[in-house]
């Protein structure tokens, strides 16, 4: 079995055993979204206007909360040291772990987003772009987040620090993700924004595994 | 006197121009102050360490 | 390039530059401030607020120069393991963060009389704000480890990741800004009048040479800190070696 599928299968197995973790992330996504009607009032117009942005922001925050799972456990129990020492191609290992992270947090977030969109009165035209934008955007979120997660391994207050490192880098995804939904609502095509999101994903796929691997190497040194 | 007051008024924009220059002075002055303070503290500390070590060696 | 890796050699050059940079900065401030504040005429569009513009543009310029220095230093540190390159990045970061903060604050002071509001989600202001956060992240990450060497490497990687992302962020924010052009506030693209160029260049020069001069001081300070750490560590080692004999 190749390195990629071994690591992926192992991480998925572990995630399945601790499926409560994924559920917590989804629950956070839901509760954070539900806070908005209380904050801005339940008027349909207002909620429909901000639905796309709210869902994107809360999805980013939910994903952020789950990032430390990618490496923290392996770092603490020494699995990471072994992976580095055995000379396994680290970028491939990273890619497999990010893939597992996306499948266990990104995908559940995408699956519940339409339900949450209903509570925010997102107009019907917005659903398809929302799901596609999340499909194309959340892999970038996991990839970029992995760099941050690897950098903060072994720090005090890793979680708060991670948000400071990673959130500014999420702004482009947020801009185009929200714009894809908003374009559909005013009757324009959202394909340009979706292609930009796809472009971001390709860029992140090229750079992030290497940067993460470098960060992991210095973490276990 | 009037000329000075008129100048300080900055064409009615005194409340924006002077604070901007004040902030710049605080920022640049602040960096310089803390840099020099750290440098001085470390120089003293390093001297103390070195003389302590020299003293320790001579007592051996 | 590699001969700069040796701290002694590097500091010899840096110390030779220092008096020139410090002197130039002092002279340019002494000449530039009166020109910027007194002798230069008010702009026909912006009036006297153009004077804010001189330090605003200078600190914006510095915040970008310092980030480039930081990213370049971090790259040289990670690729060739040049310890001095790391110190340049480390010593620059707090200055860059200060320049970014100064850019934001002077921008607000310029925006209030010109646009009628302190803050506009204008593309440049927004990008500056994000750059400020990137600086904060670098500083926070470098500080977060018990082992300062790990902090150096982690922060260097972050600086490089940030520099790859900066153009993307800038492009996104530009695009986002054209999408949501606020209708009340229009950015007036003002024409650069000849009279503002002299004070602007004087202040740009003053800020840049100030950065170079203070950077040398900070490098001296960082090197001393490293020496103190080493001395402390060898002292501990000596004490530990002496322990079993007792």
Give the pLDDT of chain C (246 residues) as one tens digit per residue: 565 668 888 888 999 999 999 999 999 999 998 888 887 777 766 777 888 888 999 999 999 999 999 999 999 999 998 889 999 999 999 999 999 999 999 988 888 887 788 888 888 888 999 999 999 999 999 988 888 888 899 999 999 999 999 999 989 988 888 776 554 444 454 556 667 788 889 999 999 999 999 999 999 999 998 888 888 888 777 777 776 654
| C21, C212 contact by CB (below 8 A) | yes
In chain C, the residue whose alpha carbon lies closest to the alpha carbon of A179 is: C176
CA distances from C6 to A154, B26, C83, C84, C225 (A): 31, 35, 8, 8, 17
pLDDT of residue A196: 95
Asked if C176 lies within 8 A of A179 by C-beta distance, the reply is yes
Q: Which residues in chain A have Cβ-Cβ distances shorter than 8 Å to C175?
A: 175
Locate A43 and state its tokens: 């008027």
Give the chain B residue whose CA is nearest to the CA of C109: B16
Instruction: Give strand ranges (E) for chain B.
Output: none
Long-range contacts of A79-86, Cβ-Cβ distance < 8 Å, separation of 24 or more: A80/A153, A80/A216, A80/A219, A80/A220, A81/A220, A84/A216, A84/A217, A84/A220
CA distance C78 to A215: 11
Q: How far apart are alpha carbons B10 and B16 in whole angstroms? A: 9
Q: What would the two tokens of residue A100 be?
A: 């597992």
Q: Smallest Cα–Cα separation from C140: which of A130, A77, A167?
A: A167
Output the six-digit token pair for A68.
């430390």
- H or E segment at A187? none
User: Hey, are the CB atoms on B19 and C109 less than 8 Å from each other?
Assistant: yes
A–B touching, 3+ CB–CB pairs within 8 Å: no
State the pLDDT at residue C187: 47
Q: A164, C144: Cβ pair inside 8 Å?
A: no
**Chains meeting C at 3+ CB pairs closer than 8 A?**
A, B
Question: How does pLDDT run across C188-243, given as a tens digit for each residue?
Answer: 545 566 677 888 899 999 999 999 999 999 999 999 988 888 888 887 777 777 76
Task: Give the nearest chain C residue to A156 (CA atoms).
Answer: C144
Q: Do B11 and C47 touch (CB under 8 A)?
A: yes
Closest by Cβ to B35, choosing from C47, C59, C214: C214
* Cα(C30)–Cα(B32) distance, integer angstroms: 17
Q: What is the per-residue pLDDT across A81-127, written as a single tens digit (0 to 9) for each?
A: 888 888 888 999 999 999 999 999 999 999 999 999 999 999 999 99
Q: Which helix (H) or strand (E) holds C42?
A: none
A180 at C interface, C-beta within 8 A: no
Residue C196, classed as helix, strand or coil, is helix
Which of A180, A191, A98, A203 shows the shortest CA–CA distance to A145?
Answer: A98
Global ipTM: 0.90
* Contact state of C161 with A147 under an 8 Å Cβ cutoff: yes
CB contact set of A182 (below 8 Å; sequence gap of 6+): A52
Locate the chain C residue with the closest alpha carbon to B18: C52
Measure CB to CB from residue C154 to each of A151, A172, A207 and give the nearest one: A151
Give the residue from C97, C162, C89, C70 showing the smallest Cα distance to A148.
Answer: C162
Q: Which two tokens stand for residue A8?
A: 């992926």
Residue with tokens 């513009």: C53
Contacts of A168 in chain C (CB under 8 A): 130, 133-134, 137, 169
Closest to C162 measured CA to CA, from C95, C72, C76, C224: C72
Distance (Å) from the alpha carbon of B4 to chain C's nearest alpha carbon:
11
């Amino acid at each position: 079995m190749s390195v990629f599928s071994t690591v992926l299968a192992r991480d998925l197995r572990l995630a399945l055993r601790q499926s409560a973790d994924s559920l917590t992330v989804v629950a956070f996504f839901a509760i954070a979204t539900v806070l908005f009607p209380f904050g801005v009032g339940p008027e349909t117009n207002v909620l429909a206007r901000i639905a796309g942005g709210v869902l994107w922001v809360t999805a980013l925050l939910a994903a952020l909360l789950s990032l430390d799972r990618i490496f923290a456990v392996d770092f603490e129990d020494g699995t990471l040291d072994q992976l580095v020492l055995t000379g396994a191609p680290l970028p491939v290992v990273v890619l497999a772990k990010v893939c597992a992270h996306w499948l266990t947090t990104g995908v559940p977030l995408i699956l519940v987003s339409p339900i949450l969109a209903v509570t925010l009165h997102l107009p019907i035209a917005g659903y398809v772009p929302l799901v596609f934008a999340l499909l194309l955007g959340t892999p970038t979120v996991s990839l970029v987040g992995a760099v941050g997660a690897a950098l903060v391994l072994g720090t005090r207050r890793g979680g708060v620090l991670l948000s400071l490192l990673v959130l500014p880098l999420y702004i482009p995804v947020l801009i185009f993700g929200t714009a894809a939904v908003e374009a559909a609502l005013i009757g324009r095509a959202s394909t340009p924004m979706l292609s930009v999101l796809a472009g971001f994903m390709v860029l992140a796929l090229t750079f992030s595994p290497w940067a993460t691997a470098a960060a992991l190497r210095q973490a276990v040194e | 006197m009037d000329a000075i007051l008129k100048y300080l008024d900055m064409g009615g924009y005194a409340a924006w121009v002077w604070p901007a220059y004040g902030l710049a002075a605080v920022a640049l002055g602040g960096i310089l102050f803390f840099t020099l303070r750290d440098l001085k503290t470390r120089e003293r500390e390093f001297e103390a360490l070195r003389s302590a070590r020299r003293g320790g060696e001579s007592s051996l | 390039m590699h001969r700069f890796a040796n701290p002694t050699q590097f500091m010899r050059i840096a110390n030779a530059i220092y008096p020139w940079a410090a002197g130039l900065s002092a002279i340019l401030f002494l000449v530039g401030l009166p020109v910027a504040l007194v002798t230069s005429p008010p702009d026909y569009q912006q009036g006297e607020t153009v004077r804010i513009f001189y330090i605003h543009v200078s600190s914006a310029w510095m915040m970008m120069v310092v980030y480039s220095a930081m990213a370049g230093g971090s790259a040289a540190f990670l690729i060739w393991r040049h310890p001095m390159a790391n110190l340049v990045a480390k010593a620059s970061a707090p200055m860059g963060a200060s320049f970014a903060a100064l850019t934001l604050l002077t921008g607000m002071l310029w925006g209030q009389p010109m646009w009628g509001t302190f803050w506009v989600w204008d593309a440049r202001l927004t990008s500056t704000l994000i750059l400020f956060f990137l600086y904060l992240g670098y500083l926070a990450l470098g500080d977060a480890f018990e082992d300062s060497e790990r902090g150096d490497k982690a922060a260097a990687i972050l600086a490089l990741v940030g520099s790859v992302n900066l153009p993307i962020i800038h492009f996104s924010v530009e695009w986002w800004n054209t999408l949501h052009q606020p209708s009340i506030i229009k950015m007036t693209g003002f024409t650069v009048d000849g009279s503002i160029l002299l004070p602007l260049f004087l202040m740009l020069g003053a800020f840049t040479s100030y950065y170079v001069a203070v950077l040398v001081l900070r490098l001296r300070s960082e090197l001393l800190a490293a020496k103190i750490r080493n001395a402390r560590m060898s002292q501990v080692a000596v004490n530990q070696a002496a322990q079993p004999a007792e």
